């Protein structure tokens, strides 16, 4: 039996800003955001960072940091919707389910530097700034929400995992509505970590190219307001008919960072999402690939997608445009699927150098301006370290 979530609205902020129409226009044209070069151990690497000074400060100074400024930029877009939802269902019946990989190490690194120089931590510094739930506490405080709150840190699948938890808890009766999404920043510790794994490219990421050489990190925050029932009194006009229909998870347990090479884990997650939605693979008109631009990820995902869908369904990775936004990427790319469904099947373009890898199974990489007439169903993939795989099927009535 299908157990969908109705999408009533969403807000986002990425390297192309927070204007959804502008962001989608850039996606369909295949226009890369402005990537800033960072010196990482003597190697200049591009990162899709957003200057926090360009974002509004957080209302409560206790929560004002780079992560929560991004949060505010996304949440401002659905502020009225969330407040109407809290009024409708009650503050204890609205849940918060979010994903993030690193939301506080920047403050702790700065505090440690100060401690080493002066013997004291900066005035007002608290270790809780680095706690996983710190941005979720800001959301709860902002809207007066007292319902359940869960924070996922399942690497690059974090906000996609949050959708699964939201669906399960809403249908278990633990809440009636939920704020679902994620936030992440390309902090210094994250940049250094990926560089040490030799996973970062010294040029903008080039997914599924023969010449791909690694990922490019980015900043983003994305939040949805979802409900179990259709709520015409809540639903924003741009989300009419949108539902998250299928939720699929799998666990490779194959390697701490590398995905299973044959793509079996990715295949199982996509298959589970389709089964959950009650759909055949032939119903899917667009696949948003995880597509990090690393040798291993793109190889296994190409195998899994070709095995399930063949080589004809349009696909694209949007990370060459926005950067890889880590824990926020699952929600960000689910939003891109929603946009494709509500914009006449206009598809996010696959931006790369145009040199296919002959060792990979064939994929139909969407070109700038490409459309999928009659598009009704998309699938969005999030495949993370440790073999945590999540696929979401999104549809429009």
Mean pLDDT over each residue of the chain, to the nearest integer: 94
Nearest alpha carbon to residue 217 among 312, 61, 322, 137: 322
Min mean pLDDT across 123-127, 219-223, 389-393 is at: 123-127
- Split at pLDDT 50, 70, 90, the class of 18 is very high
pLDDT tens for 22-62 read: 999 999 999 999 999 988 878 899 999 999 999 999 999 88
- For residues 113 and 345, which has the higher predicted lDDT (pLDDT)? 345
Least confident of 36-50, 93-107, 122-136: 122-136
Least confident of 101-110, 218-227, 251-260, 292-301: 101-110
Please give the positions annotated as active site: 156, 290, 324
Specify the pLDDT at position 146: 98
Residue 150 clears pLDDT 90, i.e. is over it: yes
The model's pTM:
0.96
- Rounded Cα–Cα distance for residues 64 and 62 (Å): 6
Tens digit of pLDDT for each residue in 269-291?
999 999 999 999 999 999 999 99
pLDDT at 111 over 90: no
Per-residue pLDDT of 184-203, as tens digits, reads 999 888 888 888 888 999 99
Q: Is the pLDDT of residue 387 over 90?
A: no
Domain that holds residue 146: 5-396
Q: At what angle do helices 66-75 and 134-143 cross, to 10 degrees?
A: 40
CATH number of the CATH domain containing 382: 3.40.47.10
C-alpha angle 316-37-387 in degrees, rounded to nearest 5: 45
Q: Which residues of 172-201 are buried (b: 16+ CB within 10 A; e: fewer)?
A: eeebbbbbbbbbbbbbeebbebbbeeebbb
**Quick one: 230 exposed, middle or buried, by C-beta within 10 A (0-12, 13-18, 19+)?**
middle
318/332 Cα distance (integer angstroms): 10
What is the rounded CA–CA span in Å between residue 144 and residue 279? 38
Q: How far apart are CA 382 and CA 380, in angstroms?
A: 7
Mean pLDDT to the nearest integer, 239-264: 92
Domain count across the chain: 1
Q: Which carries the bigger pLDDT value, residue 144 or residue 105?
A: 144
Taking alpha carbons only, the member of 94, 33, 39, 107 closest to residue 67 is 107
Percent of the chain having pLDDT more than 90?
A: 82
353-375: string of b/e by CB count within 10 Å (b at 16+)?
A: eeeebeebeebbbbeeebbbeeb
For residue 235, the model assigns a pLDDT of 97
Share of the chain above pLDDT 70, in %: 99
> Looking at residue 364, what is its pLDDT?
98
Residue 104 confidence (pLDDT): 67
- Tens of pLDDT, residues 165-185: 999 999 999 999 999 999 999
Q: pLDDT at position 1, please? A: 60
């Amino acid at each position: 039996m299908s157990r969908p979530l109705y999408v009533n609205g969403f807000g986002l902020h990425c390297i192309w800003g927070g204007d959804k129409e502008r962001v989608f226009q850039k996606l369909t044209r295949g226009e890369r955001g402005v990537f800033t070069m960072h010196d990482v151990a003597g190697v200049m690497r591009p990162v899709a960072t957003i200057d926090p000074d360009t974002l509004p400060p957080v209302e409560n100074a206790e929560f004002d940091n780079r992560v929560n400024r991004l949060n505010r930029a996304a949440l401002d877009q659905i502020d009225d919707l969330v407040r109407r939802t809290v009024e409708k269902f009650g503050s204890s019946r609205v849940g918060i389910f979010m994903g993030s990989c690193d939301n506080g190490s920047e403050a702790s690194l700065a505090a440690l530097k100060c401690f080493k120089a002066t013997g004291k931590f900066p005035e007002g510094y608290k270790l809780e700034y680095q706690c996983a739930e710190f941005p979720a506490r800001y959301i709860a405080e902002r809207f007066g929400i007292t319902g359940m709150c869960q924070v996922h840190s399942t690497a690059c699948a974090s906000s996609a995992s949050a959708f699964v938890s939201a669906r399960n808890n809403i249908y278990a009766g633990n809440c009636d509505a939920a704020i679902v999404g994620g936030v992440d920043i390309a902090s210094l510790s994250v940049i250094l970590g990926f560089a040490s794994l030799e996973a970062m490219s010294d040029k903008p990421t080039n997914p599924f190219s023969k010449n791909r050489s690694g990922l490019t990190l980015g900043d983003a925050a994305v939040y949805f307001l979802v409900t179990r029932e259709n709520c015409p009194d809540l639903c924003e006009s741009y989300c009419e008919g949108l539902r998250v229909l299928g939720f699929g998870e799998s666990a490779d347990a194959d390697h701490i960072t590398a995905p299973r090479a044959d793509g079996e884990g990715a295949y199982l997650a996509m298959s589970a999402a389709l089964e959950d939605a009650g759909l055949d693979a032939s119903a899917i008109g667009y696949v948003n690939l995880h597509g990090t631009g690393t040798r291993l990820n793109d190889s296994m995902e190409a195998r899994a997608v070709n095995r399930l869908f063949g080589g004809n369904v349009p696909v694209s990775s949007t990370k060459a445009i926005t950067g890889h936004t880590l824990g926020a990427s699952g929600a960000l790319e689910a939003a891109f699927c929603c946009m494709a469904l509500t914009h006449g099947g206009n598809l996010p373009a696959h931006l790369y150098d145009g040199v296919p890898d002959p060792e990979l199974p064939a994929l139909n990489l969407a070109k700038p301006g490409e459309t999928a007439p009659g598009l009704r169903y998309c699938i969005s993939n999030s495949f993370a370290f440790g073999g945590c795989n999540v696929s979401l099927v999104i549809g429009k009535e």
